[in-house]
Amino acid sequence: MADLLLGQVLSFRGDPFDSPDAAQVLSQGAVLVDRGRIAEVGEAATLRARHPQARVHDHGRHLISAGFVDAHVHYPQTAIIASWGKRLIDWLNTYTFPEEMRFADPAYAKDIAGRYLDLVLARGTTTVCSYATIHPASVDAIFSAAQARGMRVFAGKTCMDRNAPEGLRDTVLSAYDDSKALLRKWHKVDRLSYVITPRFSPTSTPEQLSALGALWREYPDCLMQTHLSEQLDEIAWVRDLFPQSRDYLDTYETQGLLREGAVYGHAIHLTDREKARLIEAGASLVHCPTSNTFIGSGLFDMGLARSLRVGLATDTGGGSSFSMLRTMAAAYEVAQLRGQSLHPSQLWWLATQGSARALRCEDRIGNIAPGMEADLVVINLASTPAIEQATRRAEDLWQALFPTIMMGDDRAVAEVWVGGNRRGV
Ligand code: GUN
Ligand code: ZN
C-alpha cells in the first residue's frame, strides 16, 4: 500500500546559488511514497482525493524534506568525537590512529558501524560518504550495517602506506588488491557504492597514489575521495614530501586522481591554479565547517559553490557533531566570518541536493520529486521552547526554519523514511 505524507513540503527545482526562487514550498503539501520511491508531489487536498486508499501520515505544520546527505565522514572516529586540544597532525596521531587500530577486530568495526548509522539516522541523515580504516573488514562492517537499514551509503577502504603507525599501514599492492576486491564485492550492490579512498598525500607514497589512479581508470564510474589543503602545516608537509609537485592538488593530479568523480574534503587553502584546475576537471569539494573550526583549520570559501559541485559534511569525528542541522549552522557562521550570508535555502540545499550533487547521485537522492528514492526527513519546526518562541513572528518558511537550523538537534527530527520505509527515531 502507498503512503501519503502530509505537511509543508520543501523541494528544489534548481540551485539556490544560481537562482533565488530555486526552492519550492508547498505549505499544505503531500508526498506519495510507493515501492521505495516518491510517486507524486502536490497539494494535500489533490493527492488525498486522487489516492483515497493510501495510508495517510498527517504531519501538520512539520516540514517534509529529502533526508540529509553527509558527504564526508569517518565512521571509525565515532568514539573519539569531541576529543580535546589538538590540531590536525597531532589530532591524527593522538586520537585517530590509535582508535582506527581497534578496527583490526571485525566485531568492534561491526559494533561502531551500527552505532554510527543509528546516531545519524536519528539526526535525519539518510546517506553518508564514509572513510573506513585500512582493514577490509571495516568496509564490510559499514556496508553490511547500511544494507540492514536499507540506506544508500558510499564508503571505501582508507589506504595508507607511510607516515602511519605499524599496524595501520598497507602497501602499494595490498591497497590496490584489497580495494579492488572490496569494490567488486560491494559496488552497486543494493544501495551501496564503493569509493576509492587514499587518505591524503602525506600517508600515501606516490606509487600508492598511482596504483589507486590505475584502479580508478579500471572502474571509472566509482567516486574517489581524499583530503585536500585542510591546514597550513599539512600543506607545508606535503611540499616537503613532494618537492617536485606544483602544489597539493598536483600530488593527486599527476597520479590520475583528478577528474569528475573526485571528491576532496576541506579544500580551504587553495591556490589560484588549484581552483582553476578543480573547476576545469569538474571535481567536487566538501565543506566540513564544524571540523574546520574545531581543529582550527580555516574558513572555506563558499563562493566556490558557483563554479564547483560543493557538498556539506560533518567530517565525524574531526567534526564535533553528527548533526547536519548543526553543520548548516556552522556553515552559516563560517560564511559570516568571510562576509557572506548564506540564505536558509542555500544551507538546506547544501545538506541535501548539494551533497548529492557532489557525490553525483542528485538524480536519485537529496530532493523530493517523482521518481526519486524515498529518503525523507520530517522536521518539527518548534521542537524546543527556545526555538518555538523564536518562530512565532515568522512570516515565511525561511524565517520559521532558520531557528531550527541554528539551534535544532535530534529533537527536531520527528520521523525519518529510508527507501520508502518509516523508521522510528
Ligand atoms: N586528513 C587526513 N585524515 C584526516 C581525518 O581523519 N580527518 C580530518 N579532518 N582530516 C584528515
Ligand atoms: Zn576527513
- The whole-angstrom separation of Cα 303 and Cα 138 is 36
Nearest to 142 by CA among 125, 159, 154: 154
Which atom in ligand 1 lies closest to the alpha carbon of residue 200? 2
SS3 track for 244-255: CCCCHHHHHHCC
**pLDDT at residue 322 in the model:** 98
Digit-by-digit pLDDT tens for the chain (425 residues) are: 999 999 999 999 999 999 989 999 999 999 999 999 999 999 999 999 999 999 999 999 999 999 999 999 999 999 999 999 999 999 999 999 999 999 999 999 999 999 999 999 999 999 999 999 999 999 999 999 999 999 999 999 999 999 999 999 999 999 999 999 999 999 999 999 999 999 999 999 999 999 999 999 999 999 999 999 999 999 999 999 999 999 999 999 999 999 999 999 999 999 999 999 999 999 999 999 999 999 999 999 999 999 999 999 999 999 999 999 999 999 999 999 999 999 999 999 999 999 999 999 999 999 999 999 999 999 999 999 999 999 999 999 999 999 999 999 999 999 999 999 999 76
- The whole-angstrom separation of Cα 384 and Cα 9 is 21
**Do 210 and 57 form a contact (C-beta atoms < 8 A)?**
no
Q: Residue 106 carries which side chain, given as an amino acid letter?
A: P
**Do 372 and 365 form a contact (C-beta atoms < 8 A)?**
yes
Q: How far is the CA of 52 from the centre of ligand 2 (A)?
A: 47
Instruction: Give me the residue label for grid cell 531550527.
Output: 404
Give nearest CA residue, ligand 1 atom 8. Answer: 318
State the sign of the Cα–Cα–Cα–Cα dihedral 179, 106, 164, 292. Answer: positive
**pLDDT at residue 169 in the model:** 98
User: Which architecture characterizes domain 3-67+367-423 according to CATH?
Assistant: Roll (2.30)
Pocket, ligand 1, Cβ cutoff 6 A: 74, 88, 92, 96, 199-200, 227, 230, 291, 315, 318
φ/ψ of 369, rounded to 5, equals: -160, 150
Please tell me the number of the ligand nearest to residue 230's CA. 1
Helix runs in 106-260, H state only: 106-121, 136-149, 172-186, 206-218, 232-241, 248-253
- The whole-angstrom separation of Cα 425 and Cα 422 is 9
Which atom in ligand 1 lies closest to the alpha carbon of residue 131? 6
**pLDDT at residue 246 in the model:** 98
- Distance of alpha carbon 112 from the chain centroid: 18
**pLDDT at residue 20 in the model:** 81
Q: How far is the CA of 404 from the centre of ligand 2 (A)?
A: 26
Give nearest CA residue, ligand 1 atom 7. Answer: 318
The domain ranges of the chain are 3-67+367-423, 68-358
Which atom in ligand 1 lies closest to the alpha carbon of residue 77? 6
User: Which architecture characterizes domain 68-358 according to CATH?
Assistant: Alpha-Beta Barrel (3.20)
